[in-house]
Amino acid sequence: MSTTAPTAQQVPTPETVPVRTRKRKHRRANPWGVVAWIAALGFFFPVFWMVLTAFKQEADAYSDPPKFFFTPTLDQFRAVFDTGVGVSLLNSAFATGVSTILVLLLGVPAAFALSLRPVRKTKDALFFFISTKMLPIVAAIIPLYVIVANIGLLDNIWALIILYTAMNLPIAVWMMRSFFLEVPGELLEAASMDGANLWTSVREVILPLVSPGIAATALICVIFSWNEFFFAVNLTAVQAQTIPVFLVGFITGEGLYWARLSAAATMAALPVVLAGWLAQNKLVRGLSFGAIK
């Protein structure tokens, strides 16, 4: 039977092969990339403009046509600090931090119970959690105000902490459950064959695997808590004021000082934006995991 493969004598050895130019595989430049860039710049522009304006003198901020070039200054930021933004920042940080910790403390065991050790009525409990998110919070604000006032927690940061925990817990449970579901059952089986009890398995096997997911969940809780406005504006006044409330108060007081407003807005938004940027992959993972599972 004839073959078309070279026989022993005809194998091209490296010396006999004529030097050919090997075509390097070019990644063909994607023309749609340009469109993507335009879209991205367009979406980002408002934020960019806000930050830019924060560095302007008031006169520069008010110009028609808008000014792109000017001498930057930090005066606006200084002015904002002088009006006491520090307290609000601290309040926001405190409320965000403590409520996120509470969410994790309550949510991780709950997610665990709902995923790795399914009980009867798992679906019911899950649905209950989700349903709490579906109810418009405005329906509860009146009695909440009354209750909070009666307990004496008005204008107290702890009222916000409790509410933020309740606000984020359903999302956190839902997200972390999906991360727990990702853990292959065989790992737990292997661990118990190796002699680990449940608690040790959780600590040594599950938590390391799930920790990126927990970080993602925490990040999302931070974002929602920091940016929350409705409860804050209704239940706080001066002492427990969070940064969004400060911002609003700043406006009514300093109505037309755009540059200063921009500086205040920048400071309000900056921490979470930076956190989101830095932990971007976690954020994306957290959001998309809710989808995939």
Partner 1 sequence: MAEITYRNASCLYENSDTLAVDSLNLDIQDGEFVVLVGPSGSGKSTALRMLAGLEDIDEGSISIGGRDMVGVPSKDRDIAMVFQNYALYPNKTVAENMGFALKMRGVGADERRRKVEQAAKLLDLTDYLDRKPAKLSGGQRQRVAMGRAIVREPQVFCMDEPLSNLDAKLRVQTRTQIAALQRRLGTTTVYVTHDQVEAMTMGDRVAVLRGGKLQQFSSPTELYDRPANAFVAGFIGSPAMNLLDARIVDGGVQIGSTVVDVERDRIASLHRAGLETVTVGIRPEQLEITDGDGVETIVELVEELGSESYVYTRVARSDTPLVARSLTRTPARLADTIRLRKREGTVHLFHPATGERVGD
Partner 2 sequence: MTTLAVGASTADDSERIRRVRDAKSDAVSRAEGWRRRGPLLPALIFMIVVTQIPFAFTLYYSTQSWNLVRPGSRSFVGLQNYADVFRDSQFREVAVNTVILIVGTVLISVVLGLLLALLLDRVFLGRGIVRTLLITPFLVTPVAGALIWKTAMFDPVFGIVNFVLSPFGVGQIDWVSRYPLAAVMANLVWQWTPFMMLLILAGLQSMPRDILEAGRVDGAGAFALFRELTLPHLRRFIELGAVLGAIHLVNTFDAIYMMTQGGPGTASSNLPFYIYQRAFLGFDIGQAAAMGVVVVVATIVVATVALRLIFTSFTGKEEAA
Under rule CB under 8 A, which residues in 186-215 are in contact with partner 2?
none
Kindly tell me which of 20 and 27 has the beta carbon lying closer to partner 2: 27
Q: Does 73 bind partner 2 (CB under 8 A)?
A: no
Q: How far is the CB of 5 from partner 2 (least distance, A)?
A: 28
When asked if residue 150 is in the footprint of partner 1 (CB under 8 A), the reply is: no
Query: If contact means CB under 5 to 8 A according to the sort of partner, which of partner 1, partner 2, none does residue 11 touch?
Result: partner 1
Among 23, 150, 195, 252, binds partner 1 (CB under 8 A): 23
Measured CA distances, 40 to 33, 53, 131, 271, 274 (Å): 10, 20, 35, 21, 17
Rounded to the nearest angstrom, the gap between the alpha carbon of residue 117 and the centroid of all alpha carbons in its chain is: 28
Dist CA 179 CA 115 (whole Å):
9
Query: Judged by CB under 8 A, does residue 40 bind partner 2?
Result: yes
Residue selected from 16, 18, 19, 24 as contacting partner 1 according to rule CB under 8 A = 24
Contact between 240 and 91 (Cβ < 8 Å)? yes
CA distance 72 to 110: 51
Q: What are phi and psi of 13, to 5 degrees?
A: -80, 160
Residue 120 interacts with partner 1 (CB under 8 A): yes or no? no
Q: Which is nearer to partner 2, 72 or 109 (CB)?
A: 109
- Residue 1's binding partner among partner 2, partner 1, none (Cβ under 5 to 8 angstroms by kind) is partner 1
52: nearest Cα among 42, 38, 41, 67: 67
Residue 14: how many other CB atoms lie within 10 Å:
5
Q: Name the residues that contact partner 1, by CB under 8 A.
A: 1, 3-5, 7-8, 11, 20, 22-25
